[in-house]
Amino acid sequence: MRIGFIGDVVGRPGRDMINSYLRKLKEEFNIDFVIANTENASHGFGLSIKNANELFGMGIDVMTGGNHTWDRKDIIGVLDILPILRPYNLPLGVVGRGSLVVEVNGSKLGIINLMGHFSMPMCDNPFIKAKEAVTFVKEQGAEAVFIDFHAESTSEKAALFAMLKGEISAIVGTHTHIGTDDLKIDGGTLFLSDIGLSGCRDGVIGVDKEAPLNRFLTGLPFAFEIPKDCKKIFQMAVFEIQGGYCTDAFKIKIYDDKPRVITKALCE
């Protein structure tokens, strides 16, 4: 199976880039299944039902979330219905699912959404819950396992990879909106600290620069805004899974005004 994973989709600019490129890329690279982190897809905060349906219509199959999952209240009622995940390691009783097993080309893929501890809302230990989640999806027949680890700290992401290397197919980080350059396959497991945002690339983490700058200069709260006009980027990791192991991977970056960049994964 060949999987595509898109990082934090930020507002309308991110949705527009997906609408412009995803269908073409799926056909060009024979991508069987697409997962995307969409917790910032609705004006930078949360995911509305309207935008969720819009993104499903663009070719996304499963959506993951994080600390902004709850920002749009209308989505809460469908978290148990639509293929939209929230972090697995939230406290017991929180609405929604943190994992899902789907069939892709006759094989079962387990998808897990985790949230880190550092600088994030209250959640259970992601390392302990990761082991539980992997066991859970494998008991449901998942041969391949993918984790979206939504975390601030690269050390948390690297440590989770070290713990699960050889046991899962892929772990890709989200949340920082800043793409990293450490795409690799080791022990049959793909790792990337952060896929990076899809959306505006000329502000600060996808939003207009004025509010973040004022926050840093004054320490006071200012509302983040998504620019109506900006330079945009689309970022997606594409990886091949055979027998539960990742055998090939690359990252695609598409700029709205420059040639696209494709980076192959380092194979250890």
Contact 46, 74 (CB under 8 A): no
| Mean pLDDT (whole number) for 121-133 | 95
SS (H, E, C) 111-136: EEEEECCCCCCCCCCHHHHHHHHHHH
The answer to whether residue 58 scores a pLDDT higher than 90 is: yes
The angle at the Cα of 16, spanning 116 to 29, to the nearest 5 degrees, equals 80
Annotated active-site residue 177? The verdict is no
CATH number at residue 116: 3.60.21.10
| Count of CB atoms situated within 10 Å of the CB of 83 | 17
| Residue that is written with structure tokens 């960049």 in the block | 261
Q: What is the pLDDT of residue 268?
A: 87
pLDDT in tens, 172-204: 999 999 999 999 999 999 999 999 999 999 999
**Which residue range forms the structural domain that includes residue 247?**
2-267
Q: What is the pLDDT of residue 189?
A: 98
Among 68, 150, 175, 177, which one carries the catalytic annotation?
68
Cα gap 194→68, rounded to integer Å: 17
The answer to whether residue 56 scores a pLDDT higher than 90 is: yes
More confident residue, 118 or 35: 35
Total domain count, the chain: 1
The answer to whether residue 257 scores a pLDDT higher than 90 is: no
